[in-house]
Amino acid sequence: MAKSLISPLISMPSCMSDDHRLIRETARRFAEERIAPIATELWEEEGFPYAVWRDAAHYGFSGLPYSERDGGGGGDWLSFVIVLEEFARIDCAIANAFMANSSAATLLSDFGDEVQRATWLRPILQGEAIGAIGLTEPNAGSDASAICTRADREGDSWRLNGAKTFISNSGTEITGPIVVAAVTGTRPDGRKEISNLIVPHGTPGLSYGRKLKKIGWRASSTYELFFDDCRISSDKLLGAQGAGLRQTLGTVTGGRILIAALALGILQGSLDRAHAYLQERSAFGARLGTFQALQFKVADMARDAYTARLAIYDAARRKDAGETYALEASMAKLHASECAMRAAHQAVQIHGGYGICSEFAVARAFGDAKVLEIVEGTSEIQRQIIARTMGLGLEN
């Protein structure tokens, strides 16, 4: 396994404390000892790593940034970013399971009442279950306001009908609450009223479609969901009726920092593996590391890892401090995901024929990196957010 170059070659942002460094060491050791040995198998078999999920929860990773009141670790978001970075350095699909779980956890933590948090949040923070959110639909991806899944109020329950797709953490043996965004009415201005509902795994009327075959994140359990007169009791409305879109988009904004952390993990892993390969491999009578063209590729990776880390950690620090961070989250996600794609590409190129074989981590990282330019808002959406924040494209 390639040794991480993060310590000897790249200085850490000043916002890191001794506790953050300890968390990094712990997460890195866990990833190398528990994830790395099964990464190839998980990729080939597309299986969900139940044992890793339980063991990571034992270390407190799954609930790290959440309140101890709800069974979390009482840590900060920067710590969670560091954990995701270290996990994604070894296997991005496993890191995504924790990221997607945190999306559901954040919605429940921020908007759930005491009973909802005790019933649905605590188990997914402590590793007994895993959470998911159902937002994306076959015809509603980047435009979340276009969702068509409906929930109609009938007495003391909701009747849910519709479909979702690309839902991470769905279809596992331990899938717990799925927080589903649905149209619950019409606003006075004619726009859709969207609310979030907690749908327990196994609810009658909830069914799973095909397991999606992806170019990356192959160990991430991703299914289509269908709701056919799915009955949900009224106590499973999350927060206020009609607040679902605002709730979810706010959660997605924070999620962009976490996706950026996954991208940083791929970027750092690509750098580590490329550097190690250049030191080990020879061609034309010389070590590959003596060829300037290859040196420049690794130099670019190191630069990108440094700048991406600064952007991501700053966005996480802002979130922890209660400052505005939407612009910084979009910038971090855009920069890190595109740098990860570039680094993964160059790592494959450096490895040559070995780089296109799936038993090599650089090949798996290439597919994983592409996913990150799509999820939690495409690169085009991030550029649009940044441009609008700069006052471009707005009516005077």
Residue 376 known to be catalytic? yes
CA angle 216, 82, 296 (to 5 degrees): 65
- For the chain, how far is it from start to end, CA to CA, in angstroms? 56
Q: How far is CA 180 from the centre of its chain?
A: 18
- The encoded tokens of residue 275 equal 């550097």
Q: Is the pLDDT of residue 47 over 50?
A: yes
| Mean pLDDT of all residues in 232-248 | 96
Q: Is the pLDDT of residue 368 over 60?
A: yes
pLDDT band at 14 (very low <50, low <70, confident <90, very high): low
Tally DSSP H helices, then E strands, for the chain: 13, 10
| Mean pLDDT of all residues in 88-104 | 97
Q: For residue range 257-301, what is the model confidence (pLDDT) as tens digits?
A: 999 999 999 999 999 999 999 999 888 888 888 899 999 999 999
Q: What is the dihedral of CA 214, 151, 119, 257, to 10 degrees?
A: 40
CA distance 144 to 248: 9
Q: Output b/e per residue, 301-312; b: 16+ Cβ within 10 A.
A: bbebbbebbbbb
pLDDT for 143 equals: 81
pLDDT band at 394 (very low <50, low <70, confident <90, very high): low
Burial of 256 (0-12, 13-18, 19+ CB in 10 A): buried
Q: Output b/e per residue, 24-60; b: 16+ Cβ within 10 A.
A: bebbbebbbebbeebbeebbeebebbeebbebbbebb
Q: Is the pLDDT of residue 243 over 50?
A: yes
Q: Is the pLDDT of residue 34 over 80?
A: yes
pLDDT for 7 equals: 44
- Average model confidence (pLDDT) across the chain: 93
Q: For residue range 216-233, what is the model confidence (pLDDT) as tens digits?
A: 999 999 999 999 999 999
pLDDT for 3 equals: 65
Q: Percent of the chain, pLDDT > 90?
A: 88
Q: Is the pLDDT of residue 395 over 60?
A: no
Q: Is the pLDDT of residue 141 over 90?
A: no
pLDDT band at 1 (very low <50, low <70, confident <90, very high): low
- The encoded tokens of residue 105 equal 């956890």
Please report the domains of the chain, with CATH numbers, ordered by start residue. Answer: 6-130 (1.10.540.10), 131-243 (2.40.110.10), 246-389 (1.20.140.10)
Q: For residue range 301-310, what is the model confidence (pLDDT) as tens digits?
A: 999 999 999 9
352 Rama sector, left if φ>0, alpha if ψ -120 to 50, beta otherwise = left
Distances (CA, A) of 128 to 51, 54, 57, 62, 121: 11, 7, 8, 10, 10
Q: What is the DSSP string of 311-326?
A: HHHHHHHHHHTT---H
pLDDT for 6 equals: 53
- Among 5-19, 52-66, 136-150, which stretch is predicted with the lowest mean pLDDT? 5-19
pLDDT for 9 equals: 42
Residue keyed to tokens 């994140």: 217
Q: Is the pLDDT of residue 29 over 80?
A: yes
Catalytic-labelled residue, pool 114, 376, 380, 395? 376
3-state SS, residue 285: coil
* Alpha helix (H) residue ranges in the chain: 6-9, 18-30, 39-45, 50-58, 77-90, 92-111, 114-116, 122-125, 244-280, 292-320, 326-351, 361-372, 379-389
| Mean pLDDT of all residues in 205-215 | 94
pLDDT for 8 equals: 42
pLDDT for 363 equals: 95
**Parallel/antiparallel/unpaired status of strands 192-200 and 130-134:** unpaired
Q: For residue range 333-357, what is the model confidence (pLDDT) as tens digits?
A: 999 999 999 999 999 999 999 999 9
Distances (CA, A) of 92 to 83, 194, 269, 378: 12, 31, 10, 18
pLDDT for 145 equals: 82
- The answer to whether 76 and 320 have CB atoms below 8 angstroms apart is yes
